[in-house]
């Protein structure tokens, strides 16, 4: 007798944008980090993928990363203890997404790093008084 095959279904959920632009980024940041962290006895953790923006004398720069704690990570970038490429700039949160697993967050980060059009669109919010809205 042949054993029935077991199919694993993906529990991957669609990403949920937290902040569509600059004005609500600070509100979203405080709301999003309230429930961050691992659940006891579970492999699922709440992870965030984020896009930072900075308007410096060298022009507008963007940075994409992932973290378990958005507030802490943004503070690290602004204190100069974050990623080497972010040191020496003042960063603001342009966009963030919540994911249920690290793998999902890291995969989305990889895609966002290669999506220059989205990063350019988000960076326009640094210069204009009315930031772009994502759909």
Write out pLDDT tens, residues 21-67: 444 444 344 444 444 444 444 478 899 999 999 888 878 889 999 99
Q: Find the mean pLDDT for residues 59-85.
A: 91
Which residues have C-beta within 8 Å of that of residue 55, sequence separation ≥ 6? 126, 127
State residue 66 phi and psi, 5-degree precision. Answer: -135, 155
Closest of 64, 117, 121 to residue 91, by C-alpha: 64
> What global pTM score does this model have?
0.63
- Between β-strands 45-56 and 37-38, what pairing exists: parallel, antiparallel or unpaired? antiparallel
- Whether residue 115 is predicted with pLDDT greater than 50 in this model: the reply is yes
More confident residue, 93 or 8: 93
Give the pLDDT confidence of 2-28 residue by residue, as tens digits: 544 444 434 444 555 555 444 444 434
């Amino acid at each position: 007798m042949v054993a029935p095959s077991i199919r694993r279904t993906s529990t991957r959920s669609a990403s949920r944008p937290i902040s569509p632009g600059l004005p609500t980024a600070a509100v979203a940041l405080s709301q999003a980090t309230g429930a961050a962290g691992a659940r006891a006895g579970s492999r699922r953790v709440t992870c965030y993928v984020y896009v930072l923006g900075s308007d410096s004398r060298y022009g507008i720069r963007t940075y994409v990363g992932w973290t378990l704690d958005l507030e802490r990570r943004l503070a690290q970038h602004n204190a100069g203890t974050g990623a080497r490429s972010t040191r020496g700039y003042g960063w603001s949160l342009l966009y963030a997404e919540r994911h249920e697993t690290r793998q999902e967050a890291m995969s989305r980060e990889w895609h966002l790093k290669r999506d220059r059009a989205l990063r350019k669109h988000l960076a326009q919010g640094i210069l204009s008084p009315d930031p772009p809205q994502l759909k």
